[in-house]
Amino acid sequence: MASAPTPRAPTWRIREKLSPLTGRLLGLVLPAVLLAVWWLLTRDRLPGTVESRVVPISILPAPHEMFSTQVLRELWFERELSRGALSSLVRVAAGFSLAALLAVPLGVVMGTFTRAAAMVRPLMTAGGYLPVAALVPLTIAWFGTGEEQKVGFIAIATFVFLLPMVFTAVDSVDTVFLQTAQTQGATRWQQLSRVLLPVAAPDIYHGLRLGFGVAWSWIILAEVVAAQGGLGFIINTTQSRGANIAHLYLTLVVILSLAFLLDRGWHLGARALFPYRSRAHG
């Protein structure tokens, strides 16, 4: 068609700029492939013969069996899915808030005052290697198996994650901002409140966003081991009672969907709080 032999641009270009529509469509490719593979693996190869499937129904039910109204109804009413999700969410929110309430001020103080950083840093570094799973029996020993244990567990696991994030956010504020403020006559307090905090705020927020994800993934562990109610509890009882494995898959889908929605919330929050960031890259 083209008269001049112009070299064709490759389809996979490095750091290519995609249109929003293309980006969204490409995001659907992998789920569609997975769905197709799922369907293929759980299809009755001989019509009406469940035994003829590649993957047995006890391991992976077919899509239409998973999302059947009967299974959904069971999960919703008998297993109290919504109540479970809510109690998981409340535990995560409580533990996360507690962790943030401690980690943000401490991290800010450490990022501001070298002396504070020098005092806390060795412990903070060690804390990064804390085997969080081991906290489950420990927190049970401390708090029993009630709500305090769940919240306490989430709080500790999230705190050791958040502290270095907040510290680094404040610590990496460029010296030139502080020097500018100093030559403009800013007091120590003003350097903290008008330079370090606002300049680090987007990075602190980003740390909180990641920390919330971490808390969300740990709560299932706490609930699987010792819980009354919660999404982890539903998973655990499905496994032990040998009930329909579709419940387990669906609970995982619910956990992922909730996490995705909550992360969208954090994303929107960032857009509202730090408009100068999105404007820059928009």
Binding site for another protein (CB under 8 A): 174-177, 179-186, 190, 194-195, 198-199, 201, 274, 276-277, 279-280
CB-wise, 143 or 177, nearer to another protein?
177
The answer to whether the CB of 224 falls within 8 A of the CB of 153 is no
The token duo for 239 is 């496994």
CB-wise, 82 or 190, nearer to another protein?
190
- Angle, CA of 220, 223 and 229, to the nearest 5°: 115
CB-wise, 114 or 228, nearer to another protein?
114
CB of 148 to another protein, least distance (A): 39
CB-wise, 68 or 182, nearer to another protein?
182
For 98-107, b/e burial (b = at least 16 CB within 10 A) is bbbeebbebb
Contacts of 152 by beta carbon, 8 Å cutoff, 6+ apart:
95, 139, 142, 143
CB-wise, 129 or 276, nearer to another protein?
276
The H or E element spanning position 176 is: helix 175-183
The answer to whether the CB of 230 falls within 8 A of the CB of 223 is yes
Which among 239, 237, 215 has a CA at the least distance from the CA of 227? 237
Residue with tokens 């009630």: 146
Contacts of 237 by beta carbon, 8 Å cutoff, 6+ apart:
79, 243
CB of 182 to another protein, least distance (A): 4
CB of 274 to another protein, least distance (A): 7
Which among 45, 36, 33 has a CA at the least distance from the CA of 63? 36
CB of 198 to another protein, least distance (A): 5
For 37, other C-beta atoms within 10 Å of its C-beta total: 10
CB of 280 to another protein, least distance (A): 3
CB of 114 to another protein, least distance (A): 11
CB-wise, 181 or 248, nearer to another protein?
181
